[in-house]
Amino acid sequence: MHTDFGYFEEDKLGKPYDVRLLGRLYPFAAPYKFLLLCSMILVVFITLFDLAVPYITKIAIDQYIVPAINSGKTKSEKATENETRYYRVDLTDPEINKIVHKYQELFKVDGSFALIAFDNLSKLEKKDRAVLRKDDFKGVAFAACILLAVTFFTFGLNYLQRMIIEYAGQMIMHDIRLKLFSHIQSLAVSFFTRNPVGRLVTRVANDVQNMHELFTSFISFVFKDFFLLLGIITVLISIDWKLAIACFTVLPFVLYASFDFSIRSREAFRTLRIKIAEINSMFSETVGGIKVVQLFMQEKKNYRDFAKLNHENYLAGMQQIHIFSVFMPLIELMGSVAVAVVIYYGGSGVLSKTISLGDLVAFISYMKMFFWPIRDIAEKYNIMQNAMASAERIFLILDSKEKLPQSGKNAETESLTVGKIKELSFKNVSFGYVANEPVLKRISFLVRAGETVAVVGETGTGKTTLLNLIFRFYDPTSGSVLINGMDIKNLDISAVRSKMAIVTQEPFLFSGTLRDNIFCGNDDLSGKKMERIIELSNCKFLINKLPAGLDTVLAESGKSISSGERQLICIARAFARNPDLIILDEATSYIDSETELKIQSSLANLMKNRTSVIIAHRLSTAQSADRIIVLNRGRIVETGSHDELMKKKGFYYRLNQFQG
């Protein structure tokens, strides 16, 4: 039989449409759009404050530190080719008037003002210079206070914005993970036979975490970066549009580098996500099968396989790093070129007195700021590509249609319709896991209420497949599985399964207390009913020896207790369900004789007055059944009681002889 073991993880994805993926993520973000909007409004104010810092510096330089050039010419004087920089003072101030009279030879009086050359300021005593420029000192102090106020206010806004966006991001991630978990639980069993646990864990854990990075880091901060870029361009043009255009000559190179970076990084991130999922899958598989690995001495082979996969992950990571390590220094280089252009053209402007020193300093600050958001956008694009690669994988699961068709009626109506299971029947049922490779062929039988039916046959004849069809983990390829004469496809499967219970040869227990594993959160049971269930399932001795009784916390899969004890707990769990139909999948296999007696006693209590179907791998288990169905190569070849079949000396007789 050939089975499709291909995983969706390895499928070659087409070109991702990021806008489309973001559109699909919108329903998760929609409940928190007000928070996202508040975050973006705060980002606008934060950006405005960031833009204000260099401009405040410019004002401080031009108005207080190095005031604008004054030619020093009175109305009666004509301009000369080489002008001198003068500092103007107000003679109406008595202190300043006194200093002007003290240094008459250094000042030129023009009405109510006096002018002194900047070069002559150093000839004044220090205390006189302080008095002369007291307004400038006050202006510088005021500018410094404004800068500090802006910084502290920006800090507060950043804190508030970060808290809001983190809360929204955490809630979006919470909702995506719940949606993904709920969807995975609803998928058909066939989906889980094709996709390993490690890969699904990667989707629910790592990939959803990447969604958190998208909503917290990308949306608000990229919005800030674009707004900051726009603001810087506007301010630079308003200061000096010619110098601004000269600085922007490097932008075509930056845009080309950014575009090339986006193309190269997309594939690198896709490859990296695949390799991480494969590593998780292989590690999970190794841990789950560690006994087999060690027993068959496969450690070296496993190590080689893992090392190969780990090396491929390393290469994918290095490819991503190489792309990023080329792009970021290139942006730094472009930033340095832009600053060099500012220094050359702006410095020439200061020397030729076409722009002020404050304008030049502001330009240099803004050009350095200009490349911050470009680098930041590149990093956020890094995050976005990672998130988009994860989103593609998440939506591959959410788009999976591997669900069994559900009936159109609601569960309450179906529960009333099903009622007590009085009859289970197969009518000409054929089934195969793979097309054209049938496992069961035209199977027909009837199990009545209170009857015990055993199904026997060699390995691979389809015994376990019968169970899968009874529980409707799969639908028949042809024919019908009927409950009380109604096709199981037309019944609510939850209502049907609520009336069934199974005890398997490999019992599965969840991490948690013994109480949770037996009663599965059923709080409707009274204390007396619980005690009765524990007594009938022969679990009392186990509970008495455990340190916390029913509230003892079991290790993963119940590994802290023996296989037989786990089997008894599963029988108690079936008792707590109070089912109409019991399915036993060779529940006494691999158990010691003493424990087997306890299990057989508890199974007898469980099966009493209930309909039972036993999948018997050991024929001794089937001997007490009311009827035995014998399978061979997917067909029913014999049916009858043990004595009847032994008298026929047919296939069942030969199986007994072989096992005997």
By CB neighbour count within 10 A (0-12 exposed, 13-18 middle, 19+ buried), where does 570 fall?
Answer: buried
Give dist(CA 578, CA 501) in Å, integer.
Answer: 8
Q: Give the pLDDT score at 593.
A: 63
Fold for domain 16-64+138-398? Answer: ABC transporter transmembrane region fold (1.20.1560)
Q: Give the pLDDT score at 3.
A: 41
Q: Give the pLDDT score at 226.
A: 80
Q: Give the pLDDT score at 1.
A: 38
Q: What is the pLDDT of residues 112-132, one digit of tens each?
A: 888 888 778 878 888 888 888
Q: Give the pLDDT score at 16.
A: 46
Q: CATH 1.20.1560.10 region(s) of the chain?
A: 16-64+138-398
Q: Give the pLDDT score at 629.
A: 93
More confident call, 28 vs 291: 28
Q: List beta partners, residue 87.
A: 116
Would you say residue 186 has pLDDT above 50? yes
Which has the closest alpha carbon to 569: 603, 531, 539, 544?
539
Of 80-89, 145-154, 183-192, 624-633, the range with the lowest mean pLDDT is 80-89
Residue 434's SS3 state is strand
Q: Give the pLDDT score at 87.
A: 80
Give dist(CA 500, CA 489) in Å, integer.
Answer: 16
Q: Give the pLDDT score at 388.
A: 78
What integer best gives the mean pLDDT of the chain?
80
Would you say residue 174 has pLDDT above 70? yes
Q: Give the pLDDT score at 291.
A: 67
The sheet that has 86-90: what strands, in order across it? 86-90, 113-117, 107-110
Would you say residue 627 has pLDDT above 90? yes
* Whether the Cβ atoms of residue 549 and residue 543 lie closer than 8 Å to each other: yes
- Mean pLDDT across 402-422: 60
Tell me the one-letter amino acid at 151.
Answer: T
Q: List beta partners, residue 248.
A: none
Of 40-44, 56-60, 477-481, 525-529, the range with the lowest mean pLDDT is 525-529
Token match 């993880």: residue? Answer: 9
Per-residue pLDDT band for 93 (boundaries 50, 70, 90) equals confident
- Mean pLDDT across 147-170: 90
Q: Give the pLDDT score at 426.
A: 94
- Mean pLDDT across 390-413: 69
* Whether the Cβ atoms of residue 117 and residue 84 lie closer than 8 Å to each other: yes
* Whether the Cβ atoms of residue 636 and residue 444 lie closer than 8 Å to each other: yes
Please report how the helices 251-288 and 299-341 are oriented relative to each other, as an axis angle in degrees rounded to 10.
160
b/e map of 345-372 (b: 16 or more CB within 10 Å)? bbeebbeeeebbbbbbbbbbbbbebbbb
Cα separations in angstroms, 37 against 220, 232, 474, 551, 627: 9, 23, 46, 47, 69
Per-residue pLDDT band for 405 (boundaries 50, 70, 90) equals low
Residue 108: its H or E element: strand 107-110
Q: State what percent of residues in the chain have pLDDT above 90.
A: 10
pTM of the prediction?
A: 0.66
- Mean pLDDT across 556-561: 70
Q: List beta partners, residue 430.
A: 478
Q: What is the pLDDT of residues 339-390, one digit of tens each?
A: 888 888 888 877 777 787 888 888 888 888 887 777 777 667 767 777 777 8
Q: Give the pLDDT score at 428.
A: 94
Per-residue pLDDT band for 431 (boundaries 50, 70, 90) equals very high
Q: What is the pLDDT of residues 437-483, one digit of tens each?
A: 889 999 999 999 989 999 998 888 888 889 889 988 888 999 999 99
* Whether the Cβ atoms of residue 329 and residue 284 lie closer than 8 Å to each other: no
Q: Give the pLDDT score at 86.
A: 78
Sorted by sequence, the CB contacts under 8 Å of residue 277 that are 6+ apart come out as 9, 198, 199, 202, 203, 393
Structure-block tokens of residue 31:
């409940």
By CB neighbour count within 10 A (0-12 exposed, 13-18 middle, 19+ buried), where does 614 fall?
Answer: buried
Per-residue pLDDT band for 424 (boundaries 50, 70, 90) equals very high
Give the start-end residues of each E strand in 318-460. 423-431, 440-448, 452-457
Q: Beta strand 627-632 with 635-640: parallel, antiparallel or unpaired?
A: antiparallel
Q: Give the pLDDT score at 8.
A: 47
Give the start-end residues of each E strand in 432-549. 440-448, 452-457, 478-483, 486-487, 500-504, 512-513
Q: Give the pLDDT score at 533.
A: 85
Q: What is the pLDDT of residues 62-88, one digit of tens each?
A: 787 777 545 544 444 444 444 567 788
Q: Give the pLDDT score at 558.
A: 67
Give dist(CA 47, CA 24) in Å, integer.
Answer: 29
More confident call, 4 vs 258: 258
Of 138-142, 336-340, 380-384, the range with the lowest mean pLDDT is 380-384
Q: Give the pLDDT score at 473.
A: 87
* Whether the Cβ atoms of residue 533 and residue 520 lie closer than 8 Å to each other: no
Give dist(CA 166, CA 541) in Å, integer.
Answer: 51
Q: What is the pLDDT of residues 221-237, one digit of tens each?
A: 677 778 888 888 888 88
